[in-house]
Amino acid sequence: MKKQFLSVTLIAALTLGTAGTSTALATPHSSPVLSAPSTDKQVIKRIDADKIYNNIEYLSQTPRVAGTDSEYKAVQYIKKQFKSYGYKADIEEFNFLSYTDPNLVELSVAGIDGEIQANHLTYSVNGDLSGEVVYAGLGTKEELEETDVSGKIALIQRGSLTFAEKVLNAAEKGAVGVILFNNADGELNGTLGEDNDKYIPSVTITKKDGEALQEKLNAGVKLTASLKIEGAYSGEKTSYNVVATKKATKNNKAKKSDIIYITGHHDSVAGAPGANDDASGTSVTLELARVLKNLPTDTEIRFVTFGAEENGLLGSQHYVDNLPDDDIKRTIANFNLDMVGSRDAGDLVILTNDGEMNLVTELAQASSTRLNGEPTPYGQGGRSDHVSFAEAGIPAALFIHSPSEPWYHTPDDTIDKISKEKLQDVAEIVGTAVYDQAKIEAKKPDPNHKKGKKVKVPHLFDEKEFR
């Protein structure tokens, strides 16, 4: 996104980082409900979770960072899959300012045995510095008002704010560096979202190491750290969107000119194979393209996988910015799939940029009610490619499981943690929702259908920052 930072503000009584929700969500299923109408069954019987899984397995062999050879290899695979289903697939190139990882990241703390393993944040700046370490909580403006970080290194815990907000808040109060520690087990990988000359050198460490430092500080021990980052720099790179289009069936008596989008992003963050984020959404998009290819529709359906989502929704923003005005007017819905297959994540929710119902949520809730007996809950959330469509005035929503899995943006986001049952459930809900609107002589969704609850959805999206 280009215009502003977005936050995920959702409604109900849960906090970030919890393991579940107190709200009953739709339960994934592995077979269609017997009462599903015949048009739903036409879609459901064609969906093959094994095909989705196999595509995820191929795509998640390595990280697919935007602008790299690995991304280009994934793009060629996606194009090949679309073509095998009978589509003419187009690759759209765009350039963006990219960050090159540092070749040296070091952190040592006097009084702590050995060097602490530290990782960089994408867009973190180079530096060679030493200073007293002070604990600054979550790095909020309020906490930093009460903590003297001037000329010091701020120790900040993950959560609540984006990484960039934490770093900028500390820099504004005079900190010379930031150490961010995880709120879950394992390494912490993340991004500051974009270049900013106000950033200060920043690294991430594990929850265990961070809590050990915090414990010493709480005990009154004065700690001095040395932090070094070398070799980081920015430059222009090329990423790609892949587009396949199903035209309206030739015997379209209604002569509708509507367009519906089904989308996901094929890139991943550095160091993460991205099986769930977002090879899962990309692979469900591919499967729905296969399933819907030969079903009669009076609506144009476009299947798009975007690049550089992890860099700030750049692929979807480029795509939507370059759509003709007539295409934007014709587009009635964007179903965006991001992180839809993890066995370790929570239940399916639907998030809109403004937290309000729209055509996408109405269609999806009607579908999940038919299939699962209850509508999938909805809430407010940005930070994925549906935002680019929403900002153009197009009804759009994100489909995601929440709370997200602990492997989010880590090397452990691998194929062995993918649930075929969840993939099947999401594909059925989105596939039947799209076909219900796109089929020949489809009626508008019933405005009186049972609507799900609006819920607060805890997840780990808070550190993904976009413009």
**pLDDT digits over 89-136, tens only?**
999 999 998 888 899 999 999 988 777 899 999 899 999 999 999 999
The pLDDT, as a whole number, for residue 195 is 86
Which ranges of 131-219 would DSSP assign to H, the alpha helix? 141-145, 163-172, 207-218
The pLDDT, as a whole number, for residue 467 is 19
- 3-state class of 194 per DSSP? coil
In this structure, is the dihedral angle defined by the CA atoms of residues 290, 247, 265 and 365, taken in order, positive or negative? Answer: negative
The pLDDT, as a whole number, for residue 10 is 34
- 3-state class of 59 per DSSP? helix
The pLDDT, as a whole number, for residue 186 is 85
Query: What torsion, rounded to 10 degrees, do the Cα atoms 339, 465, 414, 268 define?
Result: 100
The pLDDT, as a whole number, for residue 20 is 30
* Nearest residue to 32 (alpha-carbon basis) of 419, 342, 425, 366: 425
User: pTM above the 0.75 mark?
Assistant: no
111 — alpha (psi -120 to 50), left (phi > 0) or beta?
left
The pLDDT, as a whole number, for residue 28 is 33
Per CATH, domain 38-99+235-463 is 3.40.630.10: yes
The pLDDT, as a whole number, for residue 27 is 31
Kindly list the domain boundaries of the chain, sorted by start residue. 38-99+235-463, 102-231
Q: How many Cα atoms occupy the beta-carbon half-sphere of 117 within 13 Å?
A: 8
* 83-88 contacts, C-beta under 8 A, 24 or more apart: 85/244, 85/286, 85/289, 85/290, 85/293, 86/293, 86/294, 87/244, 87/245, 87/246, 87/289, 87/293, 87/303, 88/244, 88/245
The pLDDT, as a whole number, for residue 234 is 81
In this structure, is the dihedral angle defined by the CA atoms of residues 446, 21, 5 and 307, taken in order, positive or negative? Answer: negative
Q: Which two tokens stand for residue 100?
A: 């090159």
The pLDDT, as a whole number, for residue 112 is 84
Q: List, for the chain, all residue ranges whose pLDDT scores fall below the cut of 70.
A: 1-36, 250-256, 442-467
DSSP 368: H
What CATH number should be reported for the domain whose range is 102-231?
3.50.30.30
Beta strand 233-246 pairing with 90-100: antiparallel
The single residue listed with the structure tokens 């009635």 is: 332
The pLDDT, as a whole number, for residue 351 is 98
